[in-house]
Structures are given as structure tokens and as C-alpha cells.
Amino acid sequence: MTADPSALADQLLHIAVAAARAAVVLIHDERPATFEVSAKSTATDHVTEMDRASEELIRSIISTARPDDEVVGEEGGGDPGRAEVTWWVDPIDGTTNYVYDHPGYAVSIAAAIDGITVAGVVADPTHGRTYTATRGGGAACDGRPLRLAAAPPLEQALVATGFGYDAARRAEQGAVVAGLLPRVRDIRRMGAAALDLCSVGAGRVDAYYEAGLSMWDLAAGALVADEAGARVGALDGGPVRPGSVLAAHPDLFGPLRDLLQDLGADRT
Ligand code: LIP
């Protein structure tokens, strides 16, 4: 590994930002009037030709700059254990919002060294925002530093969440929300994990939780939230990992985790 990890993180972030910006031009600025949409795990779990084209473009930019790294993307897969530097790519996070041309989709790119995410970018084309972070270097939105304010009490917390695509799982996740709703200020369901995590970092929601996600959904947004001062972990309180995430102000994390565990959120 390089003698100066922060210099490498900055280099990786520079590549990630360039790739994200190119992908935003492709999927948003040059969005075609029509594009192919097909189903994945269920009839409502979509992938579009724009997801694939975005990932292909991002892969090309990363591989040109760093040919020995491994890119793991939602559409093209990859081997996260093969190389020292692994890139986690969600070419369009919030594909349902993208299909409907509804605000709330993002390009999410993160770089990890030996399994630790060190740089991340989440580009939000419909709001014209770019979130960035490097480990130990802070988080920013359009270059403006992000830092959490004081936490509200649990009953005044605005909590974001999301749901899977399988009907039976959604029923379980809906039951958790039914139990949560009277215990907090309100919930928000925005449709893209990367933006939900950045919203915690930017103070647009007080917390976010979800089960069933992949590292490409989580890696970049989790670094932004962490570097903005949030505690980010799994729903059981362990380290963030595929399948389970909770992000909140450190003072709010414990009470919300305990409530969500009582409601069975980590079993959905
Ligand atoms: C989405 C996630 C979101 C979840 C959606 C969907 P995709 O990812 O970012 O948090 O609630 O159901 O899984 O599939 O749009 O890349």
C-alpha cells in the first residue's frame, strides 16, 4: 500500500468524482425519451439499459485510470477479494425513481482499500448535488463541509427507510414501520439508500435504516454519513455490512437501534 494513504484516498476520490459526473451526463443530462426496462428479482425490481450503460462508462473510466483495481457493480458483478483496491458501483441507485423520472436517484461510487472504504461520491442529479467523503478527511456536499447538529429525542426524530421488492418481505417491513411510526416524528421513504445515507449526513433526516441492501448501495453513502459525524452500523449495532444498515447521530443510534430490534427490523 502507498506510503501516504490520504494521498491515495484523494486520488481515488478524484477518479470517483470524474466517473460519477460522466455518468450523470449520460443518465440525466442526456436522458433519452425512451429506454429499455426489464425485471430482475421480481416484476417491480427493474434494471434499465441506462443502468447498464452507466456502469459500463464508470467501469471504463476507473479501469483506464487504475487497471489493476477490481470494480464490483450492481449490474456487472465482480470479485471483491481479488485486488487491494475494490470499487463499489451502483450506476443508478433508485432505479424505480429513475424509471418514473421522479426525484431521488443517484450515482454511487466508493473505493475500498483492503476492505475499508476510504473514498466515496454520491451524485444526485435531480437536486444538482454531489456528496463526497474520504476516510478521516471529512464529508462535503458540493464542497461545503457536512457536520451533524445535536440529535433530537427519539420521539422527534425524522427517520428514513426503504423496502425490498419481495411482497412477503415488504409485509414484514411494513409491520416494522407500523410499530415505528407512533414512536418517532415521521418517516420518509425516498427510494435510494445512497441518498438516504447522505441525507443523514446533511441533516435532512435524523436517521436511516434498511435491511436487505448490498455494498454498492451502501459504501459511499455510509462514508459520507460517518465522516459527517453520524454513527453508521448494522441494525444489530455491529459494523455496517451488506443486508443491514442504521445511520444516526451517535446520541440517537442506541435508542433507535433498540426500538428497531424490538420491532424485528433486523429479521426482515
Ligand atoms: C434501491 C435502494 C433503496 C431500496 C430500494 C432499492 P436500487 O436500490 O437504494 O434503499 O429501498 O428498494 O433497492 O435497486 O434502486 O439500486
Domain covering 154-267, topology: D-Maltodextrin-Binding Protein; domain 2 (3.40.190)
Q: In which residue ranges of the chain is CATH 3.40.190.80 found?
A: 154-267
Give nearest CA residue, ligand 1 atom 11: 162
C-alpha cell belonging to residue 147: 457536520
pTM of the full structure:
0.96
Q: What angle separates helix 250-263 from helix 167-180, to the nearest 10 degrees?
A: 120
193 lines ligand 1 (CB under 6 A): yes
CA dist 147 and 157 (Å) reads 17
90 lines ligand 1 (CB under 6 A): yes
Mean pLDDT, rounded, for 198-219 = 97
Domain 5-145 has CATH 3.40.50.300: no
Residue pLDDT, tens place only, 123-173 = 999 999 999 999 999 999 999 999 999 999 999 999 999 999 999 999 999
Please answer whether residues 97 and 104 qualify as being in contact, where contact means their C-beta atoms are separated by less than 8 angstroms: yes
Quick one: pLDDT at residue 243? Answer: 87
95 lines ligand 1 (CB under 6 A): yes
Q: Indicate the SS3 state at residue 136.
A: coil
Quick one: pLDDT at residue 219? Answer: 97
Q: Is the pLDDT of residue 111 over 80?
A: yes
Give nearest CA residue, ligand 1 atom 10: 193
Residue pLDDT, tens place only, 22-75 = 999 999 999 999 999 998 888 888 889 999 999 999 999 999 999 999 999 999
User: Which DSSP symbol is given to 221?
Assistant: H
120 lines ligand 1 (CB under 6 A): no
Please answer whether residues 238 and 133 qualify as being in contact, where contact means their C-beta atoms are separated by less than 8 angstroms: no
CA dist 136 and 100 (Å) reads 37
How high is the mean pLDDT of the chain?
A: 95
6 Cα: distance to centroid of ligand 1 (angstroms) = 31
- For residue 59, what is the enclosing H or E element? helix 49-65
Q: Is the pLDDT of residue 78 over 80?
A: yes
192 lines ligand 1 (CB under 6 A): yes
Q: Is the pLDDT of residue 2 over 60?
A: no
163 lines ligand 1 (CB under 6 A): yes
What angle (nearest 5°) sits at the alpha carbon of residue 52, between those of residues 246 and 79?
60
